[in-house]
Structure 1
Amino acid sequence: MELIDRDMAAAYNKHATFQPDTGALEKKLWSSYRMGMDGREPSNALKAGDYIHEVHAAVARSSVHRARFLEAMTALLPAEDECVSFGKRLVSIDEVEDGVIVHFADGTSVAADAVIGCDGIKSRVRQILFDGEEAANAVFTGKYAYRGLIPMDEAVEALGEYTARNNHFHWGYGGHLLTFPIEHGKTMNVVAFRTKQNGVWEHGSQWVLPGNKEQMLQDFEEWGPDVKAILSLMRNADIWAMFDHPPARTYHRGGHICMMGDAAHASTPHQGAGAGMAVEDVFVLSRLLGEIRERSQLEKAFAAYDAVRRPRTQKLVRTSRDAGQLYQCQKEGVKDDVEKIRANLDERMRWIWDLDMAQHLQEALSVFRGV
């Protein structure tokens, strides 16, 4: 993030929640993994609550409330330019000889050199780019999650300091539960995942349903005491369907339309890397756009971005789905074998974390310059 803008990175650091000083910070803990229910012998003799593994990164894990971060980034832009408008919903894009005309649901239109869509998993830009193709819309991944919040003092009383205040995965068969601190450690965020038995989402475009705590507790009735304690403390338990994007053949059309972030490569949250990939997109694409000297070079910039970023981000979509299988003892060749699980966890995130962003940018610039 600092490679993009130091003030942007400072805004993130101001609003982010970092690992607390409970031993995890010094160890640069990314996450701790425990069994959330009893294992099934002989492949897994662990009991609910038993430690599986810990994964460490170059820096400790952190998270930020997107609305607070968005407000902080908006404040960095020159107010007199009126370059930010909220509450806009894209309807259509007219591609004309010297750029695009963008039409919104409120009846307004804007002329621009190009459109860069960063409009999320339900991206209208993506639908326009892939009109009539399977890749135009997100697909259900077969999993859903109950999401809720717990005051941290209650979580600490039930689970202890270390478990409550740090990132933890609780593994099981056909489900897993994730907890981590938010709001500068004042609150525990809980996401309890389950596999939907029929693999079908019957609620159309309604991806979030009102919570049903009784149903949630029934979904986890065979789980261990820590998981049950966490779920019992949740006030609400809204149900979120897990969708991601089918493979995309391109991230742009000529020099008129491009997409990035979740619009281009929405993934499931199982590797915690979707937002990070969007930040990488920004770094690479912004530097490419900085190389442009005339409108005709937009297509070259978008093509270079696509060539470098699409393979990496499409891999994230695939491996995030795979991680969801791993955490629920469903991954072929691993299942609930503890030693295989540990080996997988040791390597799973390295390709995401260990990228040399300066070199990655040079690859994109080389494509742009035809080197």
Structure 2
Amino acid sequence: MSPPLRIAISGGGLGGASLLHALLLHPHLDVHIFESATAFKEAGMAIGITRNALDALDLIGPSARQCLERAGAVPMRGVRLMLAQGEKAGSMIDELNGEGPDERVTSIVHRADFLRETLAGVPQERMHASKKLVTFDKNDDGSLTLHFADGTTHDCDVLIGADGIRSTVRRLILGEDEPSAFPRNSCAWGVMTLQPYDKAQAIIGKETINIENAREHAWIGDGTFLMHNVLSGGQLVQIVVGGYDDEAKAAGQWQRIVPADEMRELFKNHPTNLKNAVEEPEQAGFYCWEHPSAPTYADGTVCVMGDAAHATTPWQSSGAGMSLEDALILSTLLGLAKDRTEAQSALKIYDQVRRPRTQYIVDSSRVTGRILSGLGEETKLDIEKLKEKTLPRWPYIVDFDNEKARDEAVELMKKELAS
């Protein structure tokens, strides 16, 4: 009987946890996950799980989809794009609707809840916190020895970097001299707040904040963006506002403070209910960073996935979805691998099939952000041009056939192993 294939995942966020969940379905894989923080936890914005991502969860298995449901995901019955400024303020630009019996394009879930449920059934002996990866050695027999900041080590056959946008594994694969080894500031910034449902509904209005007709609303302003959606089973409303700071590109800042007077000035021409939704004291905001296109996601038996491979701006709600698609392909291909040689082939095929799609989406999201903030060169705040240019940006993402992509990846691996 062949020894188990030992897989180490560096990074205990949603991408790494989803991959762990999928890999544990294969008995011949000995999988461990390492998180640099003292606990496995997430923070920050809620995330959209779009139609393609829901399909990926279904293909991973029923237990993966159940994690989303237990996390209190709220099905969105559409995303309405609205004009917030100009002569036609309040007009709908377009609506992204789902297809199928539940008419759903996206489920909204708080990332911390989803992570908790994804890891709920994982044996504790496979989860290792306070383990910040520093480097790894390639041994003569082809195995890897991981070195952590606390001085401990771990031996494995495959290392998968799911360690986020500031990924150590990405830098080790690409090298410190490769520009794409490091993220870049997109100049977009945002402020996120969570409000009790009743309070948000009273401010913004029942016609838009309505659990029975749960829809995400995105408002396009002159250099501004505002979005609100229901999450946590209808208990909370997430409100996200943002804009652009083109001077931030070279500053290297990850956070910014948004003074109250700046917020009032940015949103002064919005409808009253939207202005009331952002009337807060000075707030801490975040810059949206992304990864430049990398020449590869894999090197031998080491690869990156999720945000470590293709961190993206949030404009097309695709960060989590791409991670789930990665988890489907990686778990399928590694599930076919019996040893290190076959695992290397699996990572080669993973890079071949995932890199073009994910890097396209990163680029698309960047451009979409300018459009949704009223800064598109062709569109500005022209409602007819916005209608023409906005909606066609989503089908490539949400209409993706994950089952076909998975089966094609399997066929490519079979050919690789037979050659």
Structure 2 length-normalised TM:
0.79
Question: 1:42 aligns to what?
Answer: none
Larger RCO (CA within 8 A; separation ≥ 6): 2
Question: 1:196 aligns to what?
Answer: 245
How far apart are residue 100 of structure 1 and its match? 1.1
Q: Distance in 2 between matches of 1:196 and 1:250?
A: 30
Question: 1:22 aligns to what?
Answer: none
1:101–1:160 distance in 2 versus 1, CA, 3 Å? same
Question: 1:46 aligns to what?
Answer: 88
| Structure 2: 5+ residue stretches without partners | 1-56
3-state SS of 1:135 partner: helix
How far apart are residue 210 of structure 1 and its match? 5.0
Q: Is the 8 A contact 2:220 2:226 kept in 1?
A: yes
Q: Does 1:6 align with 2:81?
A: no
Map Cα deviations across residues 168-198 of structure 1 (whole Å, 9 max, x no partner).
1110121211111122222211111111142
1:336–1:216 distance in 2 versus 1, CA, 3 Å? closer
Equivalent of 2:83 in 14, 29, 35:
35
Q: Is the 8 A contact 2:220 2:372 kept in 1?
A: yes
Letter in 2 for 1:13: E
Letter in 2 for 1:84: M
Identity of aligned residues (%): 31
Q: Does 1:263 align with 2:308?
A: yes
Letter in 2 for 1:244: E
Equivalent of 1:180 in 229, 249, 259:
229
Equivalent of 2:335 in 290, 295, 299:
290
Q: Distance in 2 between matches of 1:167 and 1:201?
A: 33
Question: 2:13 aligns to what?
Answer: none
Q: Does 1:128 align with 2:172?
A: yes
Q: Distance in 1 between matches of 2:373 and 2:116?
A: 36
Q: Distance in 1 between matches of 2:98 and 2:283?
A: 31
Q: Distance in 2 between matches of 1:245 and 1:258?
A: 15
Calculate the aligned-residue CA RMSD, in Å.
Answer: 1.9
Q: Is the 8 A contact 1:16 1:64 kept in 2?
A: yes
Question: 1:41 aligns to what?
Answer: none
Q: Does 1:88 align with 2:88?
A: no
1:220–1:160 distance in 2 versus 1, CA, 3 Å? closer
Letter in 2 for 1:75: A
Map Cα deviations across residues 267-324 of structure 1 (whole Å, 9 max, x no partner).
0000001101100000011000011122111221111011111000001100000110
Question: 2:274 aligns to what?
Answer: 227
3-state SS of 2:337 partner: coil
Pairing 1:52-131 to 2, within 5 Å after superposition = 52-58=93-99, 59-79=104-124, 82-97=125-140, 98-131=142-175
| Structure 1: 5+ residue stretches without partners | 20-24, 39-44
3-state SS of 1:161 partner: coil
**Count of aligned residue pairs for this structure pair:** 350
Question: 1:140 aligns to what?
Answer: 185
Q: Distance in 1 between matches of 2:378 and 2:265?
A: 29
Question: 2:21 aligns to what?
Answer: none
Question: 1:356 aligns to what?
Answer: 401
Map Cα deviations across residues 59-78 of structure 1 (whole Å, 9 max, x no partner).
24222222222222222223
Equivalent of 2:325 in 270, 277, 280:
280
